[in-house]
Amino acid sequence: MSALDSANHQLAEAVKQLGLDDGLHQLLATPRRSMQVAVPLRRDDGTMTVLAGYRVQHNLSRGPAKGGIRFHPHTDLDEVRALAMWMTWKCALIGIPYGGAKGGVAVDPRLLSRNELERVTRRYASEIMPIIGPEKDIPAPDVGTDEQTMAWMMDTYSAHQGYTVTGVVTGKPVSVGGSLGRGGATSRGVMYATFSALRAAAVDHRGATVAVQGFGKVGGLAAQYLHDAGCNVVAVSDVKGGVYNPRGLNPAALIRHLRSGAESVVGYPGTDEISNDELIELDVDVLVPAALEGVISDENADRIQARFVVEGANGPTTPDADAVLEDRGIVVVPDILANAGGVAVSYFEWVQDLQAYFWSEDEVNDRLKVLMERAYDEVSELADQRGVSLRTAAQMIGVGRVAEAHRLRGLYP
Ligand code: NAD
């Protein structure tokens, strides 16, 4: 099942629960704008290659579009459409005034030099420039992109405007209009969502065992924050494989290991090697998938042993797998709730940029905690009331708020 199939399936479930009509369902399922661009790249050796780039604005009824930019070889228009749709529901769920968007370039950034990466980023930014801007659509980092990517995008946009426009992207370095606390925001939100889920089940997070798939921007710091808060992080992985130690890993040391040039967590001293498939099926309290879509599917759902799945990634669990996990009593904290900390602090960053007035890190983190805990409580209350999963409840709130915006604004003409 593709990410787009999953997103459409989840939307249909929310539409059914909310009793929305077919026309509105169709409107909510259809992206408002999809842009496909050619991104010609001059390689360092003088040859040229042309990459495919995308930007999809799924819905604009609650405010400007918002969503990350992915650099990954398998990115295509359908994946970007699915990710854009999830952004719409996520922003509505946590109550920030945005629609949803996503973008991407089909490229493996690890195979490009830094200069090539900068040229790809600047050309892609200039190709999608007609539809982005602080009042229109505000990109952010995602898989394969980072603060530096955002700095180049902001600079390219600003060069064309003739003045600095910090609010055109979020997830920038702090020295050029980024927000304190943005770097770790998604991961911190994953931690708050984990704690909320454990608290609701009367499980102490101290000593709870955790496995994290995807030791990148989200998974790396999620592992570190959970470890620092007293959880026992026993396994983490990246695209090359994973490491396991039942007595616990030290995520901060692993992050330092990668920053000092190691290509993978695999081979870190004092750990056993495990595969990504084995990691997903480990007997732990909490599993945090924080890599890509579709890693928990009907092929492995009956072998998941975790009691809680907290979705750091977007779309890691397919609808088939969701049904199996629900039957087996495994709590899934859905992506649009669990990883919403990133877009929450992106919103804070944008607000700070527009006002040119910056907050302290404590202010950012405190507001994030309030927002995440409130969203979790709303979702869990609706799930209890309606006897549905946390995923369906979260989708119902997000989809319901977007439907409400359409109803109030009416249809033009
Ligand atoms: P990233 O590129 O920083 O990290 C991705 C990690 O996943 C890397 O460790 C990579 O090696 C690993 N990985 C890639 N392919 C894999 C595979 N097939 N098997 C196992 N591991 C694999 O990306 P990120 O920003 O951390 O994003 C991870 C997920 O979180 C994505 O689903 C993204 O959409 C979602 N997300 C990110 C943010 C954010 O703020 N960056 C916010 C919300 C959601």
Q: Answer yes or no: is the C-beta of 86 below 6 A from any ligand 1 atom.
A: no
The Cα–Cα gap between 298 and 325 comes to: 10
Q: How confident is the model at residue 342 (pLDDT cuts 50, 70, 90)?
A: very high
Name the helix (H) or strand (E) containing 213.
strand 209-213
Query: Taking residues 152-174, what's their average pLDDT?
Result: 98
Question: Which of 190, 192, 217, 347 best tests ligand 1's pocket when mutated (most atoms within 8 Å of CB)?
Answer: 217
**Paired tokens of 269:** 């001293």
Closest CA to 390 of 348, 350, 336, 340: 336
State the Cα–Cα distance between residues 195 and 151, nearest whole angstrom.
Answer: 33
Q: Which residue has the CA at smallest separation from atom 28 of ligand 1?
A: 291
The residue whose two tokens read 């979702």 is 379
Q: How far is the CA of 292 from the centre of ligand 1 (A)?
A: 6
For the Cβ of 264 lying below 6 angstroms from any atom of ligand 1, the answer is no
Going by the DSSP 8-state scheme, the letter that residue 317 receives in this structure is B
Radius of gyration of the chain (CA): 20
Residue 38: band (very low, low, confident or very high) from pLDDT cuts 50, 70, 90: very high
* Residue bearing the CA closest to ligand 1, atom 5: 216
Are the C-beta atoms of 219 and 236 separated by less than 8 Å? yes
pLDDT of the residue at 108: 98
Distance from Cα 184 to the centre of ligand 1, integer Å: 13
Average pLDDT over residues 182-193: 98
Report CA(70)–ligand 1 centroid distance (Å).
10
The region, left, alpha or beta by phi > 0 then psi within -120 to 50, assigned to residue 264 is beta
Q: Which band of pLDDT confidence, cut at 50, 70 and 90, is reported for residue 188?
A: very high
Query: How far is it, in rounded angstroms, from Cα 37 to Cα 84?
Result: 17
Mean pLDDT along residues 275-289: 98
Instruction: List the residue whose alpha carbon is closest to atom 34 of ligand 1.
Output: 314
**Ligand 1 centroid vs 26 CA: distance in angstroms?**
30
In terms of phi and psi (left: phi > 0; alpha: psi -120 to 50; beta: otherwise), the region of 140 is beta
Each residue of 348-371: b (16+ CB within 10 Å) or e? bbbebbeeeebbeeeebbebbbeb
Quote the pTM value. Answer: 0.98
327 Cα to the center of ligand 1, angstroms: 28
Among 98, 142, 145, 170, residue to substitute to test ligand 1 (most atoms within 8 Å of Cβ)? 142
- Which residue's CA is the closest to the ligand 1 atom numbered 16? 239
Name the residue with the closest Cα to ligand 1, atom 23.
Answer: 143
pLDDT digits (tens, 9 = 90+) for 103-154: 999 999 999 999 999 999 999 999 999 999 999 999 999 999 999 999 999 9
User: What pLDDT does residue 185 have?
Assistant: 98
**Active-site hit among 66, 90, 102, 217:** 102
Q: Which of 238, 273, 275, 295 to mutate to test the pocket of ligand 1 (most atoms within 8 A of CB)?
A: 238
* Residue 102 designated active-site: yes
- Ligand 1 mutation target, pool 143, 150, 259, 333, most atoms within 8 A of CB: 143
What integer is the mean pLDDT of 333-349? Answer: 98
Q: Is the Cβ atom of 67 under 6 angstroms away from ligand 1?
A: no
Mean pLDDT rounded to a whole number for the chain: 98
pLDDT of residue 209: 98
Task: For the beta carbon of residue 265, count every other beta carbon within 10 angstroms.
Answer: 25
pLDDT in tens, 57-79: 999 999 999 999 999 999 999 99
Backbone angles phi, psi at 410, to 5 degrees: 80, 180
pLDDT recorded at residue 214: 98
CA distance 90 to 98: 9
Tell me which residue has its CA closest to atom 33 in ligand 1: 313
Q: Whose CA is closest to atom 39 on ligand 1?
A: 142
Q: What is the pLDDT of residue 15?
A: 98
From the CA of 142, how far away is ligand 1's center (Å)?
Answer: 7
CB atoms within 10 A of CB 374: 12
pLDDT of residue 349: 98
Query: Which ligand 1 atom minimizes the distance to the CA of 346?
Result: 40
Q: What is the 3-state secondary structure (H, E, C) of 29-40?
A: HCCCEEEEEEEE
